[in-house]
């Protein structure tokens, strides 16, 4: 907070000013606003939720982080499908590399995904 008293030599009204500057969200504590992390490519945001992906908490199979495993996630799985790896998976695609993770999204992962599918 920065404050400045009004010019009030007689100190009649004892007025002042206060300014509050809220620091923008910085979930990864790198002293760069998260929106700047994403815009400047310091951080990826593969699920386009405005939160750097390293701060997102992903559930296996839930690529968009909305709490379900549905056909939207299935569409994402299809774009992530690699066949037998290992390959360098993006953060969003790594949610489809089910246990035991082996750095690919292949038919084994595909089968596990369908066991988790619970949404429309
Ligand atoms: Ca940040
Ligand atoms: Ca994100
Ligand atoms: Ca989902
Ligand atoms: Ca895999």
Does the residue 15 lie in any domain? no
Domain count, the chain: 1
CA of 46 to the centre of ligand 3 (A): 13
Q: Quick one: pLDDT at residue 52?
A: 93
Does the residue 45 lie in any domain? no
48: number of Cβ within 10 Å? 9
| Separation between Cα atoms, residue 110 and residue 120, nearest integer Å | 17
CA of 91 to the centre of ligand 3 (A): 15
In this predicted structure, the answer to whether residue 36 has a pLDDT above a threshold of 60 is yes
- Give residue-wise pLDDT tens across range 7-16: 556 666 656 6
Ligand 4 is an ion; residues with CB less than 5 A from it: 97, 102, 104, 109
Does the residue 100 lie in any domain? yes
Owner of token pair 């992903």: 58
Does the residue 117 lie in any domain? yes
CATH code: domain of residue 68: 1.10.1330
**pTM for this structure?**
0.68
Does the residue 69 lie in any domain? yes
| Separation between Cα atoms, residue 21 and residue 24, nearest integer Å | 9
Q: What is the mean pLDDT of residues 46-64?
A: 88
Q: Which domain holds residue 84?
A: 57-120
In this predicted structure, the answer to whether residue 19 has a pLDDT above a threshold of 90 is no
CA of 76 to the centre of ligand 4 (A): 15
CA of 7 to the centre of ligand 3 (A): 58
Q: Between β-strands 2-5 and 16-19, what pairing exists: parallel, antiparallel or unpaired? A: antiparallel
Does the residue 97 lie in any domain? yes
Confidence tier at 59 by pLDDT (50, 70, 90): confident
Does the residue 30 lie in any domain? no
């Amino acid at each position: 907070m920065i404050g400045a008293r009004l010019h009030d030599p007689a100190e009649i009204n004892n007025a002042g000013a206060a300014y509050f500057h809220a620091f923008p969200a910085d979930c990864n504590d790198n002293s760069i606003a998260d929106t700047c992390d994403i815009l400047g490519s310091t951080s990826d945001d593969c699920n386009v939720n405005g939160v750097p992906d390293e701060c997102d908490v992903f559930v296996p199979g839930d690529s968009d982080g909305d709490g379900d495993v549905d056909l939207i996630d299935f569409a994402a799985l299809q774009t992530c499908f690699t066949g037998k790896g290992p390959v360098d998976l993006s953060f969003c695609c790594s949610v489809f590399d089910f246990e035991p993770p082996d750095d690919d999204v292949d038919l084994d992962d595909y089968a596990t995904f369908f066991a988790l599918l619970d949404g429309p």
